[in-house]
Chain A
Amino acid sequence: MRIAVKYCGGCNPSYRREEIEEVLRKYFQVSYADSADLIVCISGCKKGCAAERARGEFLHFDEKIKEEEIVRKVKEKLLLK
């Protein structure tokens, strides 16, 4: 399953956003392409800029979250497809 990552601009993130991508790369095939089986939007804060222009099926992270939670949410979303 291919996952595409879309970041917000990163002006004042409340956590290290790259941690989400690093976890994703451990379990899935990740790119920055415009299309994939799932778009994962990574915002640095609750403002959620990464998800503002997202369309269709996507998953949005906007705070620090445990590795197993990230994997669980992605798998859950992929299974729904």
Chain B
Amino acid sequence: MTVIPLKQPSTLQQDVIRLEGIVKGFGGAQALAGASLVVRRGTIHGLVGQNGAGKSTLIKLLAGLHQPDGGRIEIEGQAFDRLTPHLAEELGIHFIHQDRLLVPTFTVGEALFLGREPRIAGTPFLDRRLMQRRAAEILNDYFGVRLPNTALIGDLSTAEKQIVQITRALLNQPKVLVFDEPTAALVRREADILFRLIRRLRDEGVTIIYISHYLNEIEQLCDHVTVLRNGQDVASSPISETSAAAIARLMVERDIQDMFPKPVVALGDEILKVEQLSAPGKYEDVSFTLRRGEVLGLTGLLGSGAKELVRTLFGLEKPASGRIDIGGRPAHLSNPTQATGRNVALVPEDRRRHGIALDLSVKENTSLSSLDRFTRFGFLDRKSEQREVDALIARLQVKASGRDALLRTLSGGNQQKVAIAKWLSRHSEVYLLDEPTVGVDIGSKVEIYTLIGELAARGAGVIVLSSDLPELIGITDRILVFFRGRVVREFASSEATADRVLAESTGSPEGQRHVG
């Protein structure tokens, strides 16, 4: 387990990290097949790739959590045949993980200093005042926030937990900070604060490796980007010489115009009609119709009322006034049971809490909302259930080891396919999709877009709520923009642009916007 430095650093190297020709296999699967990553000092280096491209394996090698089967690792000009977690930390490489949860019952102070608590000199006692002061300095200086050291981690928001993680890293004066999907659970405003922080750290000389699914973030934040595909680096270039579209193409070997495969569907009868629906404080006087074969987009900032409207259509919230007709008959939706009874389906944003159960199998998740179909006198007809589930797995190309695999073992994209499959099994007719591609890799995204098109083509009415505007424009027929509880604008998707939709949803449509 000893680590032998092969060469001592001579001068300050221009490249902080050089990983070259890294090979790593797990059992039969080759996760990395000669991947390289060269990161220059003082830059923000983006690392992108689909799920399974090898990003996380590469990062885990850097963290010392995996050992390479072959290739060169050079940190600060010093060559290693492998790293350990301890060594990585000694070299000043620190990681901000979305998934590495902090212990919820720890206080902020305990979480920040865990394992390296400063002591009062010459005593075994913790120097709580020093801990408090150093934490407060960093928190205030970098984030402009005050988090008392005694606050419980469990009581913090996701953004605040991330601040604690970053602060913990900063207390060690890192040379390299690795951010792994840091914005996945952040709202826009919080992400902006994070970006400002990352730029500032770069300007102070910290080297940043930034991993993200969101190509617009990469484009906007990074100086340099490396694209991984199938365990190899397929491109590495300064961001100024590439674009989000080019990166996406490299990631999926697919042209960007194929990203949104929207079929042309002839519209059928009106299937949903919302008339003057109001819920004070949430939305006011909302009216629209949805026809069979139509994909209607909704968008708006947090609190704009769009999400609350979608929840109302699934019986999760009650309107104060107004009227909902489904299939030409009035609908009273005071709980999800009534909504599903009228063939309304919701694919919720919080997939892991509401969409699927991680500890139920693919089969159990898929048939959960349609058990009636497979029940005779209270008994399950397991054969017909299996047949339906197998058919859906094949149709949606769900990648799982079988129908009995727990959802926990599936990737985010495949979990989401199951969250949709359960409504296909029920033959739902009105689909409410709330942020349907959050936390989904690009390959699965395209498959989900294709599926949405198919739903419409088969005569369902689909409502998509999304804050990913290119996606929304790409897959819908019409878009309703919500602002402060009202529908302020309707676009034909073919005429909408992300800029215009964004301007409407922030309440500053053209002509009224101040330049600045």
Do A and B interact? no
Give the A-binding residues of B (Cβ under 8 A). none
- Which positions in A face B, CB cutoff 8 Å? none
